[in-house]
Amino acid sequence: MTKQYTPGTHPDLPPPTRTRGPIAWMRLNLFSSPLNALLTILSVWLLWLIVPGIMEWIALDSIWTASDRKDCWAQMNEPRDGACWAFIKSSFQLFLFGWYPEDLRWRPMLCFLLFLIAVVGILKDDLPGKRYWLWYAVAFPFIATWLLIGGFGLTPVPTTKFGGILLTLIVGIASLSFSLPIGILLALGRRSKLPALRTVCVLFIEFIRGVPLITLLFVASTMLMYFLPPGSTFDILMRVLIMVTLFASAYIAEVVRGGLQGLSSGQYEAADSLGLNYWRAHQLIILPQALKISIPGIINTFIGAFKDSTLVIIIGMMDILGLGRARLNDPEWLGLAPELYIFVSLFFFICCFSMARYSLSLEKRLATEHKQ
């Protein structure tokens, strides 16, 4: 049946057709055994039961325009037949900006636009004038602070007016972007040959990791003023940012340390043997590889820290979750918790899922070891 070839003349043949294509895929993945076939059918049946109901509630029977809860329900066959997205719609500006003065809301929006430009500048490798993009990214936090808080020619806005998605993004973006460099330095310090430096880093990391974030936030909101000179005011948002940043950086430090330990000592020796000094060796050889290994862990920590930022509710800051919960007590919209939590979940999911996808694409792009 098979054709005979003399040695050295065997051509590359295509694989058998039964191992490729959708039918083969289904056979392999969905119906590979009687049990698997049963489970597949069961799953399809369950989805059939659940999905149509959910879709009706979320999309088909939902109401987008209404003045309040009662108006919403009046438009349905029965109250609660569908989602009342009018609630989210009516509060959308509040959810976005908190109590940021309405006539100044172009400032946070401009800030967000500048942030997106900075992100593109950092993440895209093949931009012309890459160096200037990076300088811009370094300058961005200062520009953002100026735009958001005002002063120097702009109308000042106290940070107590910040809220909603604006506040969540400020806490998330600031703490994540500062925690990475601090975490890297802590990881290097923990591996340093200098005993004093090493001890300080170990104590810091273990203390921060060993204490719940809520505790640190309480410290930020109440105790920190005891340590500061009397009469000095230190913005509560700034204190929270510092605490969340330190908290995330302790975790990042351990993730990066894992990456550093994943490198063979040969890499250090090769860098040393070429005459590269400590910082150059780390900048060019060690950190690019260690950080690459650490990407899944770093993104994991980022996602966790970003969601943990909702804990600022505890000390009375109104992030998207806190503000949403406050709106639930509004008599006009009482009892629309599912709509609110779906909206808040969707917001966090979009943010976290983008981070996860980006991390995957980054891993693929940087995978040079086994590229054939």
How far apart (Å, rounded) are the C-alpha atoms in residues 86 and 334?
13
Contact flag: residue 7 with another protein (CB under 8 A): no
Nearer to another protein, 33 or 372 (CB): 372
Contact flag: residue 277 with another protein (CB under 8 A): yes
Contact with another protein (CB under 8 A): which of 122, 276, 326, 356?
276
Q: Tell how many helices (H) and how many strands (E) occur in the chain.
A: 17, 0
Residue of 219, 168, 185 whose CA lies nearest to 351: 168
How far apart (Å, rounded) are the C-alpha atoms in residues 37 and 30?
6
Contact flag: residue 275 with another protein (CB under 8 A): yes
Contact flag: residue 126 with another protein (CB under 8 A): no
Nearer to another protein, 206 or 272 (CB): 272
Taking the complex as a whole, how short is the minimal distance between the CB of residue 288 and another protein, in angstroms? 5
Contact flag: residue 159 with another protein (CB under 8 A): no
Q: What is the footprint of another protein within residues 352-371 (CB under 8 A)?
A: 366, 368-371
How far apart (Å, rounded) are the C-alpha atoms in residues 209 and 241?
17
Nearer to another protein, 74 or 284 (CB): 284
Contact flag: residue 116 with another protein (CB under 8 A): no
What are the φ/ψ torsions at residue 151 (nearest 5 degrees)? 85, 175
Binding mask 281-300 for another protein (x = CB under 8 A): ---xx--xx--x--------
Nearer to another protein, 290 or 344 (CB): 290
DSSP assignment of 19-65 equals GSHHHHHHHHHTSSSHHHHHHHHHHHHHHHHHHHHHHIIIIIT-B--
Instruction: Give the tokens for residue 364.
Output: 């693929």
Contact flag: residue 264 with another protein (CB under 8 A): yes
Contact flag: residue 329 with another protein (CB under 8 A): no
Helix/strand/coil (H/E/C) assignment for every residue in 316-352: CCCEHHHHHHHHHCCHHHCCCHHHHHHHHHHHHHHHH
Instruction: Give the tokens for residue 255.
Output: 């993730």
Binding site residues, another protein, CB under 8 A: 264, 266-267, 269-270, 272-277, 280, 284-285, 288-289, 292, 366, 368-372
